[in-house]
Structure 1
Amino acid sequence: MPDQRTAGAAMCERYAVADVDSHIIEPADLWTSRVPSKWGDLVPHVKFHERRQEDYWYIGDRKLYGVGAFAQAGWPEWPPSHPKRLADALPAAIDPKERLAYMDEVGVYYQVMYPNILGFHSHRFLNQMPRELATECVRAYNDWITEFCSADARRLVPMTMLPFWDIDESVAEMRRAHEMGHKGVLFAARYDKAGFPRLIDDYWEPVLSQAQEMGLSMNFHVGFLATDDELKGAVDQSKKIDFTKESALVLLGNAQNIAEVVLSGVCHRYPDLKFVSVENGAGWLPFLGESMDWQWLNVGAHKEYPERMLPSEYMRRQIYGMYWFERKSVRAVIDQLEDNLMFETDFPHATSLSPGPASESPSPREVMERSLGGLPEETIGKVLQHTATELYHLDPPERD
């Protein structure tokens, strides 16, 4: 319960709000300053694109995207317009001290940090450079995000990227990152799409068992391990109607990931391991649980696997979701999965809770009030703070 002196205050003042999905825009020298120069242009680097008059990320001669393509918060023009150079982006998108000041402004205490390049273009690292270099790039990123979050290690929360193409290196990197203060792992449920065994296969046992032992959650972020075709709808914003359709459908993408870990038996096999659906909304989670239960019983799977619980029971035990723009559907999630719901802003992406001249978004403060207003105080505390601080093992806020 909040302190009685603040019982009438805004939600973001009553609780240390955890924003469990935000992004940091990678600096141009992230990899060139940390990875040996012997790899040449295969190291991710930035150079000026003459025709587009914009700084672009490259791996070798393959163009990825503009440096500011994911930094649209506060930008004065509607998507697909975005900052052409990092210096044009909102300072809070690239500087840790500015980020902390911005968090204070919008009523957020903690922010969990996810990548952009490694998150949305992991297939490029896998397919367009030697595995040794790709692994070095992962380590360099994990070092850099640790340094970024050191501006306030209590409030800025790094998530680990793994060199998933190498199990031994993944296990070693998970240990190393955890020792540096990382609180969870960016992961995928469908590595078979990239030619690896399914998650239920013993191949993944060293990673999953270690994560369970260390209490690290496995976080499924939208767009992670997506192909270029799958990413097109999430990134190409030139046609407003098509983008609206594709981006809305992308936000249902983690349904496959959740169904995979629940129905394949991964949750049954690793009962203490937590899985998080990141930047996918939450309103679909209750429906997925009911749908899986219905099919599980109707096809007689409960007879074939009598030792297993219903799919929805695994979801309540091990699956977590988050929301940012939802309002009505949040109530349905709370009705069935109150202990599994968290809050996010997706800052500084175009879809984030970032009011501006070219954004219809309310402020995070307003969204909290309108989506959770009238609910029991215990529920509000879980959604905004306590579920996240327990899941990610976050240190309690410092008191004045």
Structure 2
Amino acid sequence: METMESTQDAAPDAPPFPRIISVDDHTVEPPDVWQDRLPAKYRDRGPRIVRAPLKEMTFLGGKFAPVMGEKGDEGPIGDWWVYEDLHRPLTRLDTAVGYDRDEIKLEVITYEQMRRGSFSVPDRLADMDVNHVQSALCFPTFPRFCGQTFTEAPDRDLGLLCVRAYNDWMVDEWCGPDAQGRLIPLPLIPLWDPVLAAAEVRRNAARGVRAVAFSEIPPYLGLPSIHSDDWDPFLAACDETGTVVAMHIGSSSRMPSTSADAPPAVGSTVTFANCCFSMVDWLMSGKFERFPNLKVMYAEGQIGWIPYILERADVVWEENRGWGGVADKVHRPPSELFAGHVFGCFFDDAFGLRNLDAIGVGNVLYETDYPHSDSTWPKSRQVGEEQMGHLAPDVVERIVRGNAIELLGLTEDGLWPGAVSAS
């Protein structure tokens, strides 16, 4: 197991690499998040941990399919989130840092088998120190990347309570005073109701939150597209409060793949595809014209694909807008809209950094993806130094922390003001 950072020292005349603000890490929720916060009558149906054997588990064609066994069944033992009819195990892919790449398998695990920084604030801060990370924005695990777990459940009253309970835990505990301002809150919304979603955005904005998780392609979840007016109450609340719409790959519950029997390596190679499709949706939707303060970011989407998509979108807008359905709502070239509203996030993208001038220094953010299998922990500083060595120090500063400070409303020191003021 890897436990210590192993970075090469920078050249003696080089400025020190900036302390990283990661805009895409993950939390594995402790077992008591919902049991401690739901009304008593809901606790037997709300999210809870059950230790049980695994009967079978596959991950093909972008679809994750685990089957939980019963007590006494044979099979590896793991901790499972149980919520209404859903049985979702914790797996090694949820928390893989510290393991050699070849040791990372699709297998069930217990809390005792994961790195404590996955769910414990003090241990997370220690692992951030090892990785030269100052602050981190964390996406959820059990609720999935935008809370679609609660959207898919039958009981919407319980779902709303679960969303609010998660947000209270995220703001008050995960990002509370013990985090020293180093953990940045990312709440969820009730995706099934844009009016309730708007209320939740405003509730959290009132306590200093400046980001919210959302799906990159809502129709994949059976929800309206971004081209409709259905989302306008939610978008208006984000525009009004300066809340960034944060979309993680896979937040539509449909990972890109090519066939039902394609191995996970196929989907893992093309994970950026949903971000690509989503960005074109937003650029051609007219929403940035209607909500001028609205900003969106793509976590773990990488950035190397962006220049061509912007070039193609501009050509289509210029040459085909008469029949393309956008002439009456998109009044500027998509590349201009991108510059003012869209942010790409990467943890390992040398190609994108070589083409930074075609993306925009102000539109790029850095991430570490802790504790997932793709994470660059504990070598995120080394990876950054190697891939950004050709860039001027002020450009590196903006990418590694400056853009995140501005976008997420952090202090000049890169901390979340809500926890700083509370402490």
TM-score (norm 2): 0.82
Larger helix fraction of residues: 1
Instruction: Show the counterpart of 2:3.
Output: none
Tell me, in whole angstroms, the C-alpha distance in 2 between the residues paired with 1:175 and 1:340. 25
Tell me, in whole angstroms, the C-alpha distance in 1 between the residues paired with 2:121 and 2:226. 35
Q: Which runs of 5+ in 1 are unaligned?
A: 1-5, 356-362
Secondary structure in 1 aligned to 2:151? helix
Q: 1:208 to 1:36 in 2, by over 3 A?
A: same
Instruction: Show the counterpart of 1:388.
Output: 404
Instruction: Show the counterpart of 2:245.
Output: 218
| 1:254, distance to aligned residue in structure 2 (A) | 0.8
Instruction: Show the counterpart of 2:168.
Output: 143
Q: 1:369 to 1:135 in 2, by over 3 A?
A: same
Q: 1:62 to 1:196 in 2, by over 3 A?
A: closer
| 1:308, distance to aligned residue in structure 2 (A) | 0.7
Q: Is the 8 A contact 1:189 1:260 kept in 2?
A: no
| 1:69, distance to aligned residue in structure 2 (A) | 4.2
Instruction: Show the counterpart of 1:36.
Output: 39
Tell me, in whole angstroms, the C-alpha distance in 1 between the residues paired with 2:314 and 2:198. 34
Matches within 5 A, 1:68-83: 69-75=93-99, 78-81=103-106
Q: Is the 8 A contact 2:139 2:145 kept in 1?
A: no
Match of 2:271 among 247, 250, 253: 250
Tell me, in whole angstroms, the C-alpha distance in 1 between the residues paired with 2:25 and 2:181. 16
Match of 1:107 among 123, 126, 132: 132
Alignment pair present for 1:172 and 2:196: no
Q: Is the 8 A contact 2:28 2:140 kept in 1?
A: yes
Instruction: Show the counterpart of 2:353.
Output: 330
| 1:195, distance to aligned residue in structure 2 (A) | 3.5
Alignment pair present for 1:344 and 2:371: no
Tell me, in whole angstroms, the C-alpha distance in 2 between the residues paired with 1:252 and 1:398. 31
| 1:172, distance to aligned residue in structure 2 (A) | 1.9
Instruction: Show the counterpart of 1:364.
Output: 380
Post-superposition Cα deviations, 1:27-64, rounded to whole Å, max 9, x if no partner, equal 11211221123125421111112233111112234312
Post-superposition Cα deviations, 1:61-92, rounded to whole Å, max 9, x if no partner, equal 43122265401111356232557111221121
Identity of aligned residues (%): 25
Amino acid at match of 1:148: W
Secondary structure in 1 aligned to 2:144? helix
Q: 1:233 to 1:144 in 2, by over 3 A?
A: farther
Matches within 5 A, 1:57-76: 57-66=81-90, 69-75=93-99
Instruction: Show the counterpart of 1:3.
Output: none
Instruction: Show the counterpart of 1:127.
Output: 152
Match of 2:307 among 275, 282, 286: 286
Q: 1:120 to 1:339 in 2, by over 3 A?
A: closer
Match of 1:378 among 380, 384, 394: 394
Instruction: Show the counterpart of 2:337.
Output: 314
Secondary structure in 1 aligned to 2:103? coil
Post-superposition Cα deviations, 1:181-219, rounded to whole Å, max 9, x if no partner, equal 322011125323333332243322221112111111111
Q: Is the 8 A contact 1:72 1:83 kept in 2?
A: no
Aligned length: 377
